[in-house]
């Protein structure tokens, strides 16, 4: 069974990962984290980011410690450095002394000078658990000695090479997150069995080649995948970079199993606005949210003979197909304490006229106060809101959780 209960219980206690304001030591993550930055973890046995990772307590990104407080400084896949010199360890304890100075191995070190030999290495791996009946659960996070601190759980269909959905958490402490942190390239890890690199399949050249082949179009046809406009398939994040506080956390969102093909005009349009709105909601109402982001169905377009064909980014030599282009993206946002939730749906198709079938549940956006997306602008994507229970009638893969009312 998918690890829902554990995730929700820990999310409800996510404040425990925020050290309260104190007088001993104060660091501001935008000023006092060196480069490459380490992972800052509480000295406990927690295995989820909501319980294990230290978070700032204000929008300035401030973390305060009492004198004598100790934390773990972790550099997964690398080594901790003091003043640029390796300690030949990937995990050390640091104890607050005063100001921004911490004791490490008996030495007083300004926090800025505690770094990693290279950026902390994240991992994505099968957990051995099942989800959505017979799919496989993948966790994405950091291996810190003998504990794995997971940040994202995805439900993966090996046959179609498609992540059905991802579960992540959105803390109200994202108000103090690092901004403009460099974006790495997406990683395929070992989850895809294609004869071409996933990076190529997502490129405009690669996706045009596959889509045109499926539809029987000329290889250089640009009617579906445009060479210069926003009408192409982007790598659509499930749990987005900006939902995480530290740059090291933001980097671990860049796995293809945390994404699906999404048309760029939609990805950068109403979908992007909705994600910003969700973060603002979390911050302003001080809500710690469980977020399920996924896809439903496979997009179709008529081929040269007028026959509807399902679109994929990969076709194999023996007729196999993988990495489907979804018909819909969705994001279910749930506040476990109040048991309020909402399903936000986006039709993933800029080429076909809108019909009743594009509404898989009844639109209740007129009740929702915190969304600012432009529902009347179809160039930014068809989007709508639904009651979670109504949404489940069409999309039944999510774990069970009780929703009392709409998150308005």
Confidence tier at 16 by pLDDT (50, 70, 90) = very low
Which run of H or of E encompasses 276? helix 270-284
Q: Is the pLDDT of residue 19 over 70?
A: no
pLDDT digits (tens, 9 = 90+) for 122-154: 999 999 999 999 999 999 999 999 999 999 999
| Residue 17, pLDDT score | 55
Side-chain-facing half-sphere of 130: CA atoms under 13 Å: 4
- A 10 A CB-CB count for 116 gives 25
Q: Look at the block and give the residue holding tokens 């993966």.
A: 156
Check: CB of residue 407 under 8 Å from CB of residue 339: no
105 is in an annotated binding site: no
pLDDT digits (tens, 9 = 90+) for 77-95: 999 999 999 999 999 999 9
Which of 91-94's residues contact partners 24+ apart within 8 Å by CB, and which partners? Answer: 91/144, 91/145, 93/43, 94/70
Pick from 335, 331, 183: nearest CA to 250? 183
d(CA 23, CA 21): 7
**pLDDT (average), residues 93-120:** 98
**pLDDT (average), residues 95-113:** 98
Spatial neighbors of 353 by CB under 8 A, at least 6 apart, are none
Q: Is the pLDDT of residue 355 over 50?
A: yes
| Residue 23, pLDDT score | 75
pLDDT digits (tens, 9 = 90+) for 166-211: 999 999 999 999 999 999 999 999 999 999 999 999 999 999 999 9
pLDDT digits (tens, 9 = 90+) for 265-283: 999 999 999 999 999 999 9
Q: Look at the block and give the residue holding tokens 């051995």.
A: 128
User: Alpha-carbon Rg of the chain, whole angstroms?
Assistant: 22
Q: What percent of the chain has pLDDT over 70?
A: 95
Handedness of CA 136, 137, 141, 144 (dihedral sign): negative
Q: Is the pLDDT of residue 310 over 50?
A: yes
Q: Look at the block and give the residue holding tokens 């773990």.
A: 72
Token pair belonging to 197: 């690199």
Check: CB of residue 164 under 8 Å from CB of residue 287: no
What CATH number should be reported for the domain whose range is 122-406? Answer: 3.40.570.10
Inter-CA distances, 53 with 60, 89, 157, 172, Å: 18, 19, 30, 14
pLDDT, averaged across the chain: 95
Out of 32, 151, 172, 237, the active site residue is 237
Domain extent listing, the chain: 25-116, 122-406
d(CA 227, CA 402): 45
| Residue 13, pLDDT score | 38
Tell me phi and psi for residue 163, to 5 degrees.
-85, 120
- A 10 A CB-CB count for 23 gives 10
d(CA 129, CA 138): 8
The structure's pTM equals 0.94
One-character DSSP codes across 163-209: EEEEEEEE-GGGGG---SPPP---B-TT----SS-HHHHHSHHHHHH
Q: Is the pLDDT of residue 289 over 90?
A: yes
Whether cis (ω within 30° of 0) applies to the bond prior to 36 is yes
Confidence tier at 120 by pLDDT (50, 70, 90) = very high
**pLDDT (average), residues 234-261:** 99
Report which of residues 113 and 7 the model is more confident about.
113
The SS3 of residue 356 is helix
| Residue 7, pLDDT score | 41
296 included as an active-site residue = no
d(CA 46, CA 51): 6
**pLDDT (average), residues 369-382:** 97
């Amino acid at each position: 069974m998918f690890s829902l209960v554990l995730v929700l219980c820990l999310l409800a206690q996510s404040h425990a990962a925020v050290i309260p304001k104190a007088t001993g030591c104060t660091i501001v993550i935008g000023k006092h984290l060196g480069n490459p930055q380490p992972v800052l973890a509480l000295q406990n046995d927690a295995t989820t980011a909501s319980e294990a990772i230290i978070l700032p307590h204000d929008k300035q990104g401030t973390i305060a410690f009492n004198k004598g407080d100790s934390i773990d400084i972790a550099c997964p896949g690398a080594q901790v450095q003091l003043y640029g010199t390796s300690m030949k360890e990937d995990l050390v304890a640091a104890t607050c002394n005063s100001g921004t100075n911490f004791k490490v191995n008996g030495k007083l070190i300004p926090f800025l000078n505690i770094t990693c030999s290279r950026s902390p290495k994240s991992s994505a791996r099968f957990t051995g658990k099942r989800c959505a009946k017979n799919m496989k659960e993948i966790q994405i996070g950091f291996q810190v000695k003998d504990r794995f601190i997971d940040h994202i759980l995805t439900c993966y269909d090996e046959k179609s090479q498609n992540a059905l959905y991802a579960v992540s958490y959105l803390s109200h402490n994202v108000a103090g997150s690092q901004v403009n942190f460099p974006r790495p390239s997406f990683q395929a890890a070992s989850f895809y069995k294609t004869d071409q690199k996933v990076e190529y399949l997502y490129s405009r050249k690669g996706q045009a080649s596959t889509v045109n082949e499926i539809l029987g179009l000329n290889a250089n046809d640009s009617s579906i995948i445009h060479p210069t406009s926003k009408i192409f398939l982007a790598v659509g994040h499930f749990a987005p970079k900006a939902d995480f506080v530290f740059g090291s956390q933001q980097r671990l969102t860049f796995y293809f199993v945390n994404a699906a093909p999404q048309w760029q005009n939609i990805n950068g349009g109403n979908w992007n606005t909705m994600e910003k709105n969700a973060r603002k909601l979390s911050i302003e109402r001080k809500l710690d949210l469980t977020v399920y982001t996924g896809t439903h169905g496979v997009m179709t377009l008529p081929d040269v003979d007028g026959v509807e064909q399902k679109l994929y980014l990969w076709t194999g030599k023996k007729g196999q197909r993988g990495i489907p282009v979804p018909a819909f993206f969705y994001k279910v946002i749930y506040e476990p304490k109040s048991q309020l939730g909402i399903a936000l749906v986006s039709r993933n198709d800029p080429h076909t006229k809108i019909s009743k079938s594009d509404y898989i549940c009844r639109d209740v956006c007129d009740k929702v106060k915190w969304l600012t997306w432009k529902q009347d602008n179809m160039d930014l994507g068809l989007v709508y809101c639904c009651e979670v229970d109504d949404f489940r009638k069409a999309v039944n893969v999510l774990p069970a959780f009780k929703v009392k009312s709409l998150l308005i």
